[in-house]
Homo-oligomer: A and B are copies of this chain.
Amino acid sequence: MNGAQSLIRTLVDTGVDVCFMNPGTSEMHFVAALDDVTGMRGVLALFEGVATGAADGYARVAGRPAAVLLHLGPGLGNGLANLHNARRAHSPVVNIVGDHATHHHAFDAPLDSDIATVAHNVSCWVHTVTDPALVGAAGAEAVARAVAAPGGVATLILPADASWGSGGVVAAPATPVVAGTPDADRLAEAIAALRSGAPTAFVVGDDIAGDPDLLADVARLGAATGAKVLGETFPARMRRGAGLPGLERVAYLAEFAQMQLDGLEHLITIGAKSPASFFAYPGKPSDLVPAACRVTALVEPGDDVRAAVAGLLDAIDTTGVETPRVGRARPESPVGALTGESLAAAVGALLPEDAIVADEANTTGLWLNGATAGAPPHDWLSLTGGSIGYGMPVATGAAIAAPGRRVLNIEADGSAMYTLQALWTQAHEGLDITTVIVNNGSYAVLNMELARVGATPGPKALEMLDLSEPALDFVALARGMGVPGTRVTTAEELSAALAASFAEPGPRLIEAMVPSAF
């Protein structure tokens, strides 16, 4: 058994049975081992950012890691942006980066570079294994590190000779680190705040946003004490819809977030970060919490959130308190012009039960949250790390993780262009993904931000934000990768195209021509 075979066998034994990959020569023994060892599904991506984003989406939906296989430092570079988003989503990812054989480094061959420096940017753990006999154990450790709460990118650098060398040993699963428990003083502080009657809010993280039962507990605590319940701006995964507790998210725009937080005297974060501005703006504070508001970090992301909520429930009487739940409500099917609002209404009117939404609508997405709140229960994935180009790959991985469920990817045109190659994998794997491209011919978010940072643009600056010359034709781009596409210019056409795609298997792209609001 060579190192590569022992690695795949170990991964499969620990439940990691999908590998998104874009391999090269130094990974050929790993690739060949896919046939020697049963149980590992290889999924080819034509660009590394697709592979890494797919692993992120897979982890968010499956709740366990996929592996990624990348080709040396440049391959890792290409995959870095979506590993960054995965890191921010606390997604467990087993990130295997092939390297030259150890004895080859002395020659500083063209593809040689310092892989570990790049990996440290996104990884919770980086390890290079050089002995084929230790590759299995390193793989088991990588899985344990990836799944250790709150979840992260564990990078295993795998030289070609560790892969092809004989003497591979399959390793037993390693034990992940145990999550931290709530601190008694912080718990007491939170309880005191909730009992004080002063304006208080919770900010809950991914562990609660993705778990309706836990969210119901917090919602009941809020109802019993008058505390507001807020979610983070960009959760990795929210479970939401009719019959579930609602969760108002902290707004992306600092101006709106400050309105949400205005007048608060206590903020209790549960596995979440204290609200801060996404970007810095001249003369504006980055901290969105009012000066007079005290923040209690009850537990950090990755700590035992369940124990923290239980601790609050032990102290606060919620007997007889009804859990606030969202009512069933769908917007009416929209008619007429295609706008951000009518696009959202069409989605809200038609979203299938148990759908998975990968939302990268950016500026056009403003209305989506409200329009889908009362739709049948579904999962909502968002851009956790701010690195655009996450949506199409994450949708791809989500569909691999959840066969039988419809994935809806709402994707801004500018963002789509970073990782468009995902469409090929969607076609190749026959995934049930509906991609709605919001084509407004602009980096609209930057046109908005340009004003917010206080910059005065001239024609050269505006040209840097303009995608309209030439206009992008996403139906042609989709066809080029084997995905059927439809262009829609009215709300009715969008509704018809959505309904048709939801009813048919496989991927489809809908290009929605929506004028920019900015």
Q: Residues of A with Cβ closer than 8 Å to B?
A: 21, 23-26, 28-29, 31-32, 34-36, 42, 44, 46-47, 49, 72-75, 77-81, 84-85, 88, 100-101, 103-104, 106-111, 113-115, 117-118, 120-122, 160-161, 164, 234, 273, 276-280, 282, 286-287, 384-387, 389, 414, 417-418, 420-421, 424, 427-428, 445-446, 449-450, 452-461, 463-467, 469-477, 479-482
Contacts and interface: CB of A to CB of B under 8 A. Distances in A.
Given A21-B464, A32-B461, A80-B77, A107 B474 contact: no
Contact of A81 (B23, B77, B121, B463): B77
Nearest to A159: B280
A472 B481 contact: yes
Contacts of A80: 73-74, 77-78, 80, 118
9 contacts: A77-B80, A77-B118, A84-B113, A104-B280, A107-B287, A111-B385, A111-B387, A470-B481, A475-B480
Nearest to A384: B110
A440 to B, nearest CB: 14
Given A25-B445, A117-B121, 20 more contacts: A26-B279, A28-B449, A28-B455, A31-B461, A32-B461, A42-B463, A42-B464, A46-B414, A46-B417, A46-B418, A74-B84, A75-B81, A77-B118, A80-B80, A101-B286, A108-B273, A109-B277, A109-B286, A118-B118, A471-B482
A417 B42 CA distance: 19
Nearest to A79: B77
A74 B475 CA distance: 28
A471 B479 CA distance: 10
Contact of A110 (B25, B278, B466): B278
Contact of A286 (B107, B120, B453, B458): B107
Contact of A277 (B104, B460, B479): B104
A172 B75 CA distance: 38
Contacts of A460: 34-35, 42
A346 B42 CA distance: 39
A479 B427 CA distance: 20
Given A80-B77, A464-B42, A279 B160 contact: yes
Contacts of A414: 46
Contact of A280 (B21, B100, B458): B100
Given A78-B49, A78-B81, A104-B280, A35 B286 contact: no
A179 B418 CA distance: 39
Given A25-B449, A277-B107, A282 B479 contact: no
A466 B31 CA distance: 13
Nearest to A87: B113
Contacts of A453: 25, 28-29, 160, 164
Nearest to A111: B386
A509 to B, nearest CB: 11
A454 B72 CA distance: 20
A423 to B, nearest CB: 10
B44 A464 contact: yes
A100 B248 CA distance: 27
Which 9 A-B pairs give the minimum distances between C-beta atoms? Answer: A470-B482, A35-B458, A77-B80, A477-B480, A74-B387, A101-B280, A107-B276, A32-B455, A476-B480
A150 to B, nearest CB: 14
Contacts of A32: 450, 455-458, 461
Contacts of A47: 417-418
A3 to B, nearest CB: 12
Given A35-B460, A470-B424, A481-B477, A81 B88 contact: no
A25 B464 CA distance: 12
Contact of A77 (B31, B84, B108): B84
A225 to B, nearest CB: 28
Nearest to A423: B470
A479 B481 CA distance: 13
Centre residue among A79, A452, A477 by max chain B CB count within 10 A: A477
A232 B36 CA distance: 38
Contacts of A427: 470
Contacts of A286: 101, 103-104, 106-107, 109
